[in-house]
């Protein structure tokens, strides 16, 4: 696996190792290796419209995060 093509999977694995269970993103993640790797690792991916992390995190928590 090349580093450039596998970097999304590597990032997903690293996030899981760090204990992440949710990833907030301001953009839609198109179907990709990182999206599938996050799903397999049990890490939830949430698109948020806010660029302020406190607001975005509060929204996710209120919605059953």
pLDDT tens string 46-65: 877 766 777 777 777 777 66
* Banded pLDDT at 3 (limits 50, 70, 90): very low
What is the enclosing helix (H) or strand (E) of 47?
Answer: strand 44-47
CB 57 within 8 A of CB 25: no
Do the Cβ atoms of 31 and 59 come closer than 8 Å?
A: no
pTM over 0.85: no
């Amino acid at each position: 696996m090349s580093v450039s093509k596998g970097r999304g999977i590597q990032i997903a694995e690293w996030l899981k190792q760090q204990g992440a269970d949710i990833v907030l993103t301001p953009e839609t993640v198109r179907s990709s290796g990182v999206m599938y790797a996050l799903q397999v690792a049990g890490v939830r991916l949430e698109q948020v419209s806010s660029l302020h992390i406190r607001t975005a995190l509060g929204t996710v928590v209120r919605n059953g995060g």
